[in-house]
Structure 1
């Protein structure tokens, strides 16, 4: 394991005592005895709803080089719900495959988080880069992401090979270290304590992600759960982050050409001899990857609540607090290609979170 586990040490192991009272509005109100403020969940506080299509492959993401005519093509796509998390590390694997021995300029297909990370690494290595993309931020799938550093959506089928897990851990290690040096308001990245329901799919995924601080029993937390896992991780305000990444790319001399590439022939017509494919779901049609499928994730975003300084995940869904709003999610809809929020699903997400946070209890 490459990750320095000491970096995951918790700053405090104090017991958490919590209580809440419920006002007449049905919104939980926090009392003085808990350091964790319950989220004020109510339909009236929803400021927008969105749905994103995760580029998911059951066997894992693709980082692979091949010839395409007289071009060298390096694939970097299929990260499911962990695109933000693995962006720097997966892009490092891809550029390590493509850049050594290359001379001349570089093309990157796609301007989501994977394309921008790949482009920036190529620039840092001294190469001129052009991004070819059908859409720019904020109109990319990455803009819809919740932005948690967490391996969401992997290892659910239990079919990952040992080779894939090794690739995943290399990518995770580099991303973990890279994001740490970007923490702050410029990129919209911050650390938060995170609480995960024991036994939930999220808790099982965390078995492949080392920074578990400790397990908390019922007397140590205010959640309506028997036990939770607590760890610290980073959260990305995706809109701000992608704007800054694109700004960095332009400052470093990068060029962007907005055009849709419909076939491999369109790709071979590009002037660059080294091309990185970071098209996400677009790789299904562009390069015939039929294993790639959309997994829809729907979000309800509440008005910001600055006193909420933690995240929570479990069977009820997930809650990530960001400066641009409180993110509520909870769907993993396989092979759904419609990026339109479903009002019934959104209502369920809000309702499930409302019940969860209204059930905060006193443990003191």
Structure 2
């Protein structure tokens, strides 16, 4: 089945969860009803916008000689940056870095891919200096939803060759193992959470599900390659959930608490001898002034201007945070209605999407999008 990803793959991910059968009963006792979300627009405490760096061909992971240096490009992961970062760095970028023979390298960019690439290089015994215009939480990837969706806007269907799929699977599995090793870390940056995916139509109905933004390509179904990494979802009867929808399923998902996770990565990087230099590069020629001879370009959408990459397509994303409710622990995905909710310690994250967000680099906050999403959330509860 081909599908489009309307809201950063979260809805499509949950809707495509391995099913236990449309009429299967829950394999456990009826769960407690989730806590009610106090959804109102006056509880919005923050709204952020980011630009997902999408490339039809998939991430750019290759090296080139430029200005007398070796530049390893590692960017263009669409909505899969956090999710795929450890695997993409270890399997994709690290062999290219090690092939240069340099023991001291520079990483350009301090977002999801840059931070993780720096840590993978350190763990391989390299000395790393990181150059970035911004430091977390000011980086764009702070505004991600924080759900593990390693196939989110990663490539167009036409680019998903068997070789690409094999490499993606290896990266996704490596990333998954890396995150499992972080379970129980101080501050619990990585957790497994239960959640509900809701739908107005049967999940197995022909043509059911989300549809893409105008101009968006078809994306490949990659998650079947790692179906063994996630538990099956379970259908719920109307008396087993509080939502005003016709169909609901319960699923389990891995999530990131992004701000404590960023803090952990930065602290670990500095503890292991990493250097962080705040610098804004206006042109790729400025890289010639750096003392390192091997540079890793992890600038995300910034590579479009810095390295003149015309293949990068911006996909705008807007997220908002409501006042935290510690009692709310369940994820929520409303399929086909532009609604994803991720309970985090810094607030209840609500994602909103505009029909014009594909190929849209605008970082201006559109408050009406968030208000509509919050009002839609409020309408779900009886």
Alignment TM-score, normalising by the size of structure 2: 0.80
**Which residue of structure 2 aligns with residue 315 of structure 1?**
336
The whole-number CA distance in structure 2 between the counterparts of 1:56 and 1:46 is 29
Q: How far did residue 219 of structure 1 move? A: 4.7
The whole-number CA distance in structure 2 between the counterparts of 1:206 and 1:104 is 36
When residues 173 and 103 of structure 1 are mapped into structure 2, their CA distance, relative to the original with a 3 A threshold, is same
The whole-number CA distance in structure 2 between the counterparts of 1:174 and 1:75 is 20
When residues 187 and 76 of structure 1 are mapped into structure 2, their CA distance, relative to the original with a 3 A threshold, is farther
Candidates 186, 194, 214, aligned match of 2:233: 214
Contact residue 110 and residue 133 of structure 1 kept, 8 A: yes
Q: 1:80 aligns to what SS in structure 2?
A: coil
Contact residue 123 and residue 252 of structure 1 kept, 8 A: yes
The whole-number CA distance in structure 2 between the counterparts of 1:264 and 1:94 is 20
In the TM superposition, what are the counterparts of 1:244-283 in structure 2 within 5 Å? Answer: 244-283=264-303
**Which residue of structure 1 aligns with residue 135 of structure 2?**
136
When residues 352 and 156 of structure 1 are mapped into structure 2, their CA distance, relative to the original with a 3 A threshold, is farther
String of CA shifts for 1:95-129, please: whole Å, max 9, x gaps. 12221451331010001111111111111111111
Contact residue 116 and residue 245 of structure 1 kept, 8 A: yes
Structure 1 unaligned segments of length 5 or more: list them.
Answer: 1-7, 18-33, 360-364
When residues 195 and 64 of structure 1 are mapped into structure 2, their CA distance, relative to the original with a 3 A threshold, is farther
**Which residue of structure 2 aligns with residue 190 of structure 1?**
191
The whole-number CA distance in structure 1 between the counterparts of 2:155 and 2:171 is 19
The whole-number CA distance in structure 2 between the counterparts of 1:334 and 1:281 is 13
String of CA shifts for 1:108-157, please: whole Å, max 9, x gaps. 00011111111111111111110111111111011111111123633785
**Which residue of structure 1 aligns with residue 160 of structure 2?**
161
**Which residue of structure 2 aligns with residue 171 of structure 1?**
171
In the TM superposition, what are the counterparts of 1:33-52 in structure 2 within 5 Å? Answer: 34-52=32-50
The whole-number CA distance in structure 2 between the counterparts of 1:340 and 1:195 is 31
Q: How far did residue 169 of structure 1 move? A: 1.6
String of CA shifts for 1:331-354, please: whole Å, max 9, x gaps. 161122222210111111111211
When residues 47 and 144 of structure 1 are mapped into structure 2, their CA distance, relative to the original with a 3 A threshold, is same
After alignment, is 86-95 or 328-337 more displaced? 328-337
When residues 105 and 79 of structure 1 are mapped into structure 2, their CA distance, relative to the original with a 3 A threshold, is same
When residues 178 and 250 of structure 1 are mapped into structure 2, their CA distance, relative to the original with a 3 A threshold, is same
In the comparison of the two structures, how many residue pairs are matched?
333
Q: 1:305 aligns to what SS in structure 2?
A: coil
**Which residue of structure 2 aligns with residue 351 of structure 1?**
375
Contact residue 217 and residue 226 of structure 1 kept, 8 A: no
**Which residue of structure 2 aligns with residue 30 of structure 1?**
none
When residues 274 and 230 of structure 1 are mapped into structure 2, their CA distance, relative to the original with a 3 A threshold, is farther
Structure 2 unaligned segments of length 5 or more: list them.
Answer: 1-17, 21-25, 212-220
Candidates 360, 363, 366, aligned match of 1:342: 366
Quote the RMSD (CA, aligned, Å).
2.6
Q: 1:81 aligns to what SS in structure 2?
A: coil
The whole-number CA distance in structure 1 between the counterparts of 2:225 and 2:37 is 29
